[in-house]
Amino acid sequence: MSEQPLNPTPATAPDDATTVDTHADAAATGSTAADALADATADATAGVTPDEAAALRAASFERARRLRQEPRFPGGPAADPAGSHHERRIRSFQPRRSRVTTGQQDALERLWPKWGLDIDGKRVLDLAEMFDGLPVVLEIGFGMGEATAQMAADDPGTGILAVDVHTPGQGNLLGLADRAGSTNVRVANGDAIILLREMLAPGSLDGLRVYFPDPWPKARHHKRRLIQPEFLDLVAPVLKPGAIIHCATDWEPYAEQMLEVLTAHPCFENTAADGGYAPRPAFRPLTRFEGQGLDKGHVVHDLLFARV
């Protein structure tokens, strides 16, 4: 497996970068520094005119904004990898703010230059070079990475390009893969839509995995669900004929929508003989999240559709 660094992006965001959908973990970056700036601004505005105070506050806000755009770990995942050159649109993911452990930080600092990449929309990935000719599946949303790491260890003959925006999960997956001796995992940071649309060559993927995506249960949020006809239109060209889309969810209404949308798309065919849901394949581990759902009485549905 190639050991060449994958992430050519600079350690800090450019000065003219603006935030469209900044990773919330990165938004927390520099919070201490930002608080210090706010305190300093409050002290500086004492005894000045209203116009001078407004200018000082604006300058402080801009400095704090730039701090929040810097990566939490220099050389690691960028806060806003695609920058402002991509359009504003509805996002299917909800970035989360949480603490990065010492072990996750160590994995990010050691392994990101080798196994990590930012989704910047500025290049087309050479997956054959990246994975030394292995067939490659894309996994969108891997949480803390336990299932992904297990699948990589169980099937070293398949490369996994795993995409998420959650910094602790990125560090956790890198650490798990490293400890297992798995070299067939690459971790991508950013928006999977930009990856599919601008960074993957036609027919470059052997499969797509979307396990337990956010169900966005409120009716007004259904437009944020990932599995939509427009998403499948993006996916179809980058999948090889016969490649499998594998989705799993424990949210019954979302499972029904997935089945309806996949069945209606002309580029995909249900592998289930009865045209319905499929049994959980042996290669998909039972995840912690899934186990919690089963304990609550949820029913998990797997869907496997082939690219025709």
- CA-CA distance, 92 to 163, in Å (whole number)? 13
- CA-CA distance, 207 to 203, in Å (whole number)? 10
Q: Sheet harboring 116-118: ordered strands across? A: 116-118, 185-189, 159-164, 136-140, 205-211, 239-249, 301-307, 268-270
Q: Which of 16, 214, 250, 302 is catalytic?
A: 214
Q: Which residue has the tokens 């029904």?
A: 256
Contact call for residues 161 and 137 (beta carbons, < 8 A): yes
SS3 169: helix
| Cα–Cα separations (whole angstroms), residue 301 to 181, 247, 250, 253, 262 | 31, 8, 6, 11, 14
- CA-CA distance, 307 to 236, in Å (whole number)? 7
SS3 67: helix
Q: Helix 50-69 crosses helix 31-44 at what angle (to 10 degrees)?
A: 170
- Verify whether residue 214 is a known catalytic residue: yes
Q: Fill in the amino acid letter for 94.
A: Q
SS3 107: helix
Two structure tokens written together for 260? 């309806």
* Residues with active-site annotation: 214
